[in-house]
Amino acid sequence: MATIHLTLAPFLLLAAIFLSTEVTAQPAAPAPGPAGPINITAILEKGGQFVTFIRLLNTTQIGKQINIQVNSSSEGMTVFAPTDNAFQNLKPGTLNKLSPDDQVKLILYHVSPKFYTMDGLLSVSNPVRTQATGRDGGAVYGLNFTGQGNQVNVSTGVIETRVSNALRKERPLAVYVVDMVLLPEEMFGEHKISPVAPSPKSKSPAVSDDSDDSSKKAAVPSEKSGSGEMNVGLGFGLGLVMLCLKFIV
């Protein structure tokens, strides 16, 4: 038995070496690939209540600009996304009254060219510039943030609302929910574009043509009455002259 064991020993040693080599030579599990490019539309669609905002991002081409810039910028971006209810709560005619260029400015006003956390919004220096800043000859188009703790409010000078939960908060893109459409003061402030279609002015009761004519007739004497008075005056004067001549003769 000892002879057999000694004869098998070299083979067992070779088998052990072979097995250890096989285990060592096995390829390691592939590392997870890089995450795909950020897509603002996909983020909003996952949120499930941003149909109107998505439509405006697509029609104005701003959604495409965000995707390009956020994937190439070192500053990142922050988007404030109004819900469908926020758009429904606008006064009738607000969006329809805007020109295509004004719609672009309105959507750009909801995008900041820098990444902000919730805490960062509370410590930021107001006003915070947006993508609409400078489009009207250097107009501010800024947002003002206030609050404390977990409460963050955003003000435009026209409206103020709460910055709600985050659809995304990882750098380089933060997407926060807002319950009101952010209306910039530069567009909707006093003496600017009205957020509602103007109501038709009430007209004063129309004055009939007959009343106008009668007033004109009362104010201006007729030619016939004037000529009649003139004829009476001439007749009276001629009568006096004839009477005087009669006494002289």
pLDDT at position 34, please?
Answer: 53
- Write down the mean pLDDT value for the chain: 77
Which pLDDT value is given to residue 141?
95
Mean pLDDT of 101-122: 96
Sheet holding 151-155, edge to edge: 111-112, 77-82, 173-178, 160-168, 151-155, 142-148, 128-129
Pull the structure tokens for residue 57. 């991002």
- 42-56: per-residue pLDDT in tens? 999 999 999 999 999
pLDDT tens-digit map of 192-216: 555 544 444 444 444 334 444 444 4
| Range list of β-strands (E), 83-221 | 111-112, 128-129, 142-148, 151-155, 160-168, 173-178
Digit-coded pLDDT (tens) for 226-249: 444 444 444 544 444 454 444 444
Cα–Cα distance, 191 to 213 (Å, whole number):
42
Distance, CA of 153 to CA of 150 (rounded, Å)? 10
